[in-house]
Amino acid sequence: MTHPVLIPTLETDRLVLRAPAATDLDAYAAFCQSDRSAGVGGPFTLDDSFHKLSAIIGQWSLRGFGRWMVADKQSNEPLGIVGPFYPITWPEPEIAWTVFAAAEGRGIAHEAALAARAYVYDTLGWDTVISCTTPGNDRSVALARRMGAQRDGSFHHADYGELLIWRHPSPEALA
């Protein structure tokens, strides 16, 4: 089943979570071509980066939800990709986050991931969600823990290897 592509915009104190745009390709490709992308299977070529950005947009059509480009509210500078993510090889939907170098250490992923989790609980009506991290990605593990997520096993992915599953608190637990 396909869904009309209508990507909502969310706002937080400092950020706008919005549909990716062609103007975001340079920042996204810089991330994809850097060593920072190792946790998501990179580094990637420019061509691969374009296709991956297209896939981020495409998941909205295929699933009715997807990841947003996280942008600075004042400058519109792209800072990362955050939101619900559910590839066909995943055990269940997750809240995924990736921040670009300019956003590292500023709480950007936390702020954006909290907004994304509120969206999946309040708007999509989910009662559970996970996040996946690669072993040794201490910053992502710390973020999952900061959001109250608890380890809930792992799974092996053909491309990414072992992924640790972090279960977020339910909407009721957060209330």
Question: Would the pTM of this model clear 0.85, i.e. be above it?
Answer: yes
Retrieve residue 51's tokens: 């296709």
Alpha-carbon distance values, 7 to 11, 66, 125 (Å): 13, 8, 17
Buried/exposed 40-50: b ≥16 CB within 10 Å, e otherwise: bebebeeebbb
Residue 142 has pLDDT above 80, yes or no: yes
Spacing of C-alpha 119 from chain mean position? 13
| Domains of the chain with bracketed CATH | 10-127 (3.40.630.30)
What's the count of helices (H) and strands (E) in the chain, helices before strands? Answer: 5, 8
Which tokens is 138 given? 């201490």
Q: How confident is the model at residue 159 (pLDDT cuts 50, 70, 90)?
A: confident
Q: Are strands 130-133 and 150-157 parallel, antiparallel or unpaired?
A: unpaired
Q: In angstroms, rounded to a whole number, what is the distance separating the alpha carbons of residues 143 and 149?
A: 9
Question: For 47-99, what is each residue's pLDDT tens digit?
Answer: 999 999 999 999 999 999 999 999 999 999 999 999 999 999 999 999 999 99
Pairing of strands 78-85, 68-72: antiparallel
